[in-house]
Amino acid sequence: MGTVTASASEIEKAAEVLRAGGLVGVPTETVYGLGADAENPVAVSRIFQVKGRPSSHPLIVHIGSAEQLDEWVRDVPASARLLARHFWPGPLTLVLHRGPRVPLEATGGLETVAVRVPDHPVALALLSAFGGGVTAPSANRFGQVSPTTASDVRAELGDGVDFVLDGGSCEVGVESTIVDVTGEMPTILRPGGVTREDLEAVLGYPLTVPAVSRVRVPGQHPSHYAPSARVVLVEPEKIVDEAEAAQELGHRVGVFLPASFADAEVKAHAVVPVPRSSAAYARGLYGFLRELDQKGCDLIVVSLPPEEGLGLAIANRLRRAAGPRPTV
């Protein structure tokens, strides 16, 4: 975790804000969340307003421990218990059948609900002080880059958030892995901080991951996790040439430079060296995108990492960042 940690009195204040129906910026190990009392439909509705997110998009309910799971869901299969035991607290979200305590406002009208126990001392202290569940999407405006520091949250949401707890910069840096355990076989709905390989090792069988393609089909990957600059994906060996060509054409190009090109002199507006370890890449990913925006880049040139381990989640986010933008 980063060095900043909210004090006991700040945690008590945040719990009060939740009890009063307010919204709190909550640090987790993945990204910062925009939290509300999961059982207060009015507070939950405010999340959608502040984010500018369609109310049909379901939220994740954060709880303080795996022991509380049955208070929120029903019909928990053995596979879900196994995964919860191994990975909670941690960057894994389980989709299960909704219990009566979860309002439909939090699930976008679905009869299923996404639940996780975050692995961050500030989030766990808040959940313990508050006592209930906290629904929290990532604390960014809809479609934008997720925040990984408290100041990112303030910059994204301003007065839309009533109180922000500072828990330093997020250790994992990409969102949780979402696994649907309501069907016959668990399926990964979103790759994230727990790798597919780790899940398969615990379950003892292979998992399906949503189809991905290296080709961009219009409309297939609507833009999400996106900076202001346009993001283009190129083959790794062409990255320097493509970046320089775009810069020559008059773009202010930001380039994610793979470690294999570390010594290259690139004629671009800004260069981010991609860390060799995928854990460090995931941790830095959203900060790099924000940094290139702040430096005034209008085009970000990047290639996809190998899609194994955390590389699967990184590639998923980059693909979505490069997806077609809504025309407004």
Interface residues toward ligand TXA, by CB under 6 A: 28, 30-31, 33, 57-60, 91, 93, 95, 107, 110, 112-114, 118, 136-138, 175-176, 178, 189-190
Residue from 138, 148, 149, 176 touching Mg ion (CB under 5 A): that is 138
Of 236, 227, 307, which Cα lies nearest the Cα of 274? 236
Residue ranges of alpha helices (H) inside the chain are 8-19, 41-51, 78-87, 104-107, 121-130, 150-157, 196-203, 239-248, 278-294, 311-321
Q: What minimum distance in Å lies between the beta carbon of 238 and ligand TXA?
A: 32
**Ramachandran quadrant class, 134 (left: phi over 0; alpha: psi -120 to 50; beta: rest):** beta
Residue 60 interacts with, from Mg ion, ligand TXA, none (CB under 5-8 Å by kind): ligand TXA
Residue 24 CA to residue 57 CA, distance in Å, equals 19
Of 30 and 223, which CB lies nearer to ligand TXA in the complex structure?
30
Residue 136 interacts with, from ligand TXA, Mg ion, none (CB under 5-8 Å by kind): ligand TXA
Q: What are phi and psi of 7, to 5 degrees?
A: -80, 165
How many C-beta atoms lie closer than 10 Å to residue 249's C-beta?
Answer: 9
Residue 314 interacts with, from ligand TXA, Mg ion, none (CB under 5-8 Å by kind): none
Tell me which H or E stretch contains 233: strand 230-233
Of 253 and 313, which CB lies nearer to ligand TXA in the complex structure?
313
Of 127 and 136, which CB lies nearer to Mg ion in the complex structure?
136
Of 44 and 272, which CB lies nearer to ligand TXA in the complex structure?
44
In sign, the C-alpha dihedral spanning 242, 245, 251, 257 is: positive
Examine residue 107 and tell whether it contacts Mg ion (CB under 5 A). Answer: no
Residues that bind Mg ion (CB under 5 A): 138
